Every structure is written in C-alpha cells, then in structure tokens.
A and B are shown apart, each in its own frame.
Chain A
Amino acid sequence: MLKHATKRILAFGVADTRLSANRILPRFYHERVVDHYNNPRNVGAFDKNDPNVGTGLVGAPACGDVMKLQIKVDEQTGKITDACFKTFGCGSAIASSSVATEWVKGKQTEEVLTIKNTEIAKHLSLPPVKLHCSMLAEDAIKAAVKDYETKRAKAVASTTDKAADA
C-alpha cells in the first residue's frame, strides 16, 4: 500500500468540519484536506528515465518538506496523460500536491503553468500559515514541466545530431 505520503498524524474532527461553514472553529483541517489524506489519489512514481516523464522535485527548507510531482506527457499532442506525486510533509502539503496532480491531468503543458497557488489554497481553504504548501505545489508543477521540456530538447538535439552524422 502506498503509505509513504499519507502516514501523518492529524488532529481533526471530520464530523465537525461539516459545520465549520458557519462557525469559526479553531484550526481544523478542511474537509477536502482530510479527504485527500484519507483517500490519496495519484500517489506513486513513474520511471524517471522515461522520455515522456517530467519530474519536479521541490522542497521547503524552512519546514523540511519535500515534494515530488511527476507528469507523463503524450509527445504528439503535448497533453498530460497521467500524473503522480510523493510528498513528505504536513497534511496541507500532501493535499496540495494531490490536488495538483488531479488538476494537471488532461491539460496541455503550457496550460498547467497557469495554475496558481492561490487557487489551490482556496480549493483547500488553507489557513495563512499553510499558504507556502500551495506555493510548493505550484513550484512542483512548474519544475515537472520544465524537466519534461529539457528532456525533450535534449532528445530533439540528439536526434538531429544523429541525422547529421548519418
């Protein structure tokens, strides 16, 4: 079972969060964060050396979090066919990266660069102190796309070299 990213101890009341819309409750995780934690989606890893895979590895040194986000891109269409993540950090960081993998699926690589951390934070109702987790997710997406582009550029360069040699 892919427990790595999800093994965290949270203090939360799931039943109470349903009422939290109207009441101000101290420091509960939002429903969606809890959901992503309990039902992790897209946890896993792709082969790093696969030419269609872009890997984004980012970290937040101040809190010691690491986040790895991988995308699988169809080279013909430039569309992201699959995505997975692995995050070691707090519940908000895990949920942010999980949401990021969900959102990038089925989109173009250029399009996902426009995903902003504020959108992720709003979707998860992250408190101000956890906003940097969504920032981390945004950076992970960008790093993954950049890695894929770099790989592609190298692959194109080497094929043109081969063609020139031949």
Chain B
Amino acid sequence: MWKIILRTSSSSSFSRKTLTHSISFQLIQQNITQYQNQPHFTTLCTFNSNERTRISTDPQFHFTRNSKLLGNGPGYCSAMSLDETSCCWNCKTQRPFLICESCGSVQPVDHSVDYFRIFGLEWKFDIEDGSLEGMYKNWQKKLHPDLVHTKSKEEREYAAEQSARVIDAYTTLRKPLSRAIYLMRLEGVEVDEEQTVSEPELLGEIMEIREAVEEAADSQALKKIQSQMEEKLRHWSNAFANAFGSKIFDEALKSIQRMTYYHRVNDEIVKKL
C-alpha cells in the first residue's frame, strides 16, 4: 500500500515554474480529493526529466517515502535543464551513473549513455577478452531486479530496465560483428539492409564456399572450412579495426559486409555439424 505524503509547507518547491511542478500540483490536487481521509500529506517533489513522462501518463502515481530523506534536505537539483539527469531521484546528492553511489538506488535508464560507456571502454573495436565479463558481473550485482525486490515499484522498474540494458550492451559488445555494427552506428553510419551489391569476386567466392559446405562429405571437411572462415573473420576484423581507427568508413563498411558473409557460412556449418 502506498502512502501519499504531501508537504504543504514546501511552497518554495512550487516557486519554480517548471512544467513538471505545475502538472504535479494539479495531480496532487486530484489526489487530495481522493485521499481526504488522510490528514497529513507531504510531497516529495523529486522530479527529473525522466520522471516527467511518467507523471503525465499515469494519473495515479506513487510517491516514495524514504527514511533517509525526511530530515535530510539538501535542496533540489540545481540544474534547471530538463534534458539532463543530474541528480539521484532519491537523495539528490550527486550525479549518479546507473546507480547512485550514496544511497544505492537504481536510476532510470538514460539512453544517451552508450554501451561502451557502461563498460568503461573507449569507442574502438579491439577490446581485451576479460574486460567485459568482470564489469558485467559487477553491474548485475548492483542492478539486478532480484536485489530490489523490497523496494518501490519505480525502483524495481528502473532495475529491470537497467539490467536489461546492461545485458543488451554485453551481448552486443561481446561478438565482434555486432560490436563493429554498433560502433558504426555510434559514428552515424548505418548498415543498410536494402542495399544489394554486385561484386563478382566477393559473391563468387561466397557462392563457392557455400556450395562446398553443402557438398561437404563429412564433419572433418566442414571443420576445415570452418577454420578457414575463422581465419578470414580474424583478418577482416583487423581490417575493420584499422579502417575504423583511421575513420575510413567505407573500408570499415566493406569489412563488415565480408564479416557478415563469413559469419553466415559459419552458422550454416554449425547447423550441419
């Protein structure tokens, strides 16, 4: 059961004529009429831009009550900009990154944080093998929905979204091909699905390889082709890393195309094995 607490003395909170507050004030009035049997009301006007949408769509919103907050009043976010999540929604102390350091509450998802930043990596293709797993486990230890079982509904939702995002980041960055495609997208270059190519050498080569896979007599032959494919994938991954590092995006795109083809061949081989 959620308690709605309104702090009527906090008229200063409404002195800032932001849209969030004006909406919230109207909604608070609605709630006052609904919950008139409760004598004491206090509000926590802890809105940031992410919560704004939540309020406008959900008329029956809930305020969370945190024991740390009552009596702790460092004031509201000094940042007026509506598109920046600068403070923790809970304790409002500092800039949180996925989760607040000081009060430990999970933050809502900020889509401007890209996958590389979640893992503390730069925007480049080559990453060390172990760097993802360690960070991934650490994040899940803090963000996993099971850990926020007893907390507020909002925080549970945040935890679900955040840990889903971390999982997406992990799976995208783990495989070289998806990592390459994601990197290109960050730089604004999309791999267009509609585009058809007509390079006879590349396509001829792929055709031959695919036919060889179809006609392969035994698993040994298949494994041989597989190792050849892996060799080629390594070669083209390096080519991509170089091209991307030098910002030659055409070359990078070509490398991605080749990698996609070799990857498909590998998938086929795996199916056959």
Residues of chain A touching chain B, judged by Cβ–Cβ distance below 8 Å, are: 3-4, 7, 9, 57-64, 66, 68, 86, 88, 132, 135-136, 139, 143
Contact = CB atoms under 8 A, between A and B. Distances in A.
B193 A86 contact: no
A57 B197 CA distance: 9
A110 to B, nearest CB: 20
19 contacts: A3-B214, A57-B198, A57-B200, A57-B204, A58-B196, A59-B199, A61-B195, A61-B197, A61-B256, A62-B191, A62-B260, A63-B193, A63-B264, A66-B206, A66-B210, A86-B207, A88-B210, A132-B194, A135-B194
Nearest to A146: B198
Interface of B: 191-200, 202-204, 206-207, 210-211, 214, 256-257, 260-261, 263-264, 271
A66 B214 contact: no
Contacts of B257: 61
B198 A58 contact: yes
A68 B210 CA distance: 12
Contacts, number: 68
Contacts of B195: 60-62
Identify whether the interface residues of B are mostly helix, strand, loop, or mixed: helix
Given A3-B214, A64-B264, A139-B198, 17 more contacts: A57-B207, A58-B196, A58-B198, A60-B193, A61-B191, A61-B256, A61-B261, A62-B191, A62-B193, A62-B195, A64-B260, A64-B261, A68-B207, A88-B206, A88-B207, A132-B196, A139-B196
Given A59-B197, A139-B196, A139-B198, A4 B211 contact: yes
Contacts of B211: 4
Contacts of A66: 203, 206-207, 210, 261
A106 to B, nearest CB: 26
B210 to A, nearest CB: 5
A58 B192 CA distance: 15
B202 A59 contact: yes
A143 B199 CA distance: 11
